Amino acid sequence: MLLHLDDLSGCWSIATGWLQAELRCHRVDTGFGEHHAAEYFPGFAEAKAGDHDVPSFAGKPVDNRDAMMQAMWRNPKPLVYADIKQDARVSEKMRNRMSGAKTRSKFAWALRSGQDRYGLICADWTEHLVPTESGLYDCFEQTVADVLGPVIFVARTISGPAAKGAASLTPSEVAVARLVARGLSYKEIARQRGRSFSTIDHQLRSIREKTGATSTAALIHLLSRSSLI
């Protein structure tokens, strides 16, 4: 990971793969965000067990105002959801979302550097409930708190504001940004995406605001550094 500090996406890929192997869970997913945002976008980096049919948790935003999400952001210790179907802390909406990703058990916690909470990381078991032996929870807590949280924070800082902005793009904005990088016009993008011209215009303004990229060339460079193209 330390050799990839200038490559935020690559650093994250190594981190999630490492944690997934250490916990022997079926999926580890992460994303950047803030506790007060209306939506959270999982899947900036994701590692899945290769010997299981594990769907991605990415693709759609999550209601960040849900009580379960807020607990993930605010709890001083990692949260354990030993059985998603039976846990009263899980809302029906969140239960349905996790059921679609085959999540049966979950560890979840906010990524921190000091008092700064800048993302979430989750370890999911899909084929069975989380093993009850002691050690997995401690491994998750210590790895996230002592290694991943600080290292990813440094990688995020080194990448600079523009890369942070790229990391905060929604999946739909990433799709639009890729089409812009290919040289498509607003009208062509709207037609290909099946959206109105005004929707594409709004998304492009959001992309520029988040990344600071004021030209197509700048956007292409940023996306390539963020491993988004």
Q: Is the pLDDT of residue 227 over 60?
A: no
Which CATH code for domain 2-159? 3.30.450.40
What is the C-alpha separation between 159 and 32, in angstroms, rounded? 14
Q: If you average pLDDT over residues 212-225, what whole number do you get?
A: 66
Architecture of domain 169-225: Orthogonal Bundle (1.10)
What is the C-alpha separation between 84 and 80, in angstroms, rounded? 10
- Whole-number pLDDT of residue 42: 85
- Whole-number pLDDT of residue 164: 59
Which residues, in sequence order, are bridge partners of residue 40?
62
User: How does the average pLDDT of the chain come out, rounded?
Assistant: 86
Q: Is the pLDDT of residue 217 over 90?
A: no
Q: Is the pLDDT of residue 214 over 90?
A: no
The residue with greater pLDDT, 217 or 46, is 46
- Whole-number pLDDT of residue 100: 93
Per-residue three-class SS string for the chain:
CHHHCCCHHHHHHHHHHHHHHHHCCCEEEEEECCCCCCEECCCCEEEECCCCCCCCCCCCCEECCCHHHHHHHHCCCCEEECCCCCCCCCCHHHHHHHHHCCCCEEEEEEEEECCEEEEEEEEEECCCCCCCCCCHHHHHHHHHHHHHHHHHHHHHHHHHHHHHHHHCCCHHHHHHHHHHHCCCCHHHHHHHHCCCHHHHHHHHHHHHHHHCCCCHHHHHHHHHHCCCC
**pLDDT tens, 158-196?**
766 556 566 678 888 888 888 887 778 888 999 999 999
Distance of CA 61 to the CA centre of its chain: 10
Q: If you average pLDDT over residues 90-102, what whole number do you get?
A: 95
- Whole-number pLDDT of residue 90: 97
Q: Is the entire prediction scored with pTM above 0.85? A: no
Q: Is the pLDDT of residue 121 over 90?
A: yes
- Whole-number pLDDT of residue 226: 59
Q: In this structure, are residues 36 and 49 in contact, taking their beta carbons and an 8 Å threshold?
A: no
Q: In this structure, are residues 12 and 42 in contact, taking their beta carbons and an 8 Å threshold?
A: no
Domain ranges of the chain: 2-159, 169-225
- Whole-number pLDDT of residue 25: 96
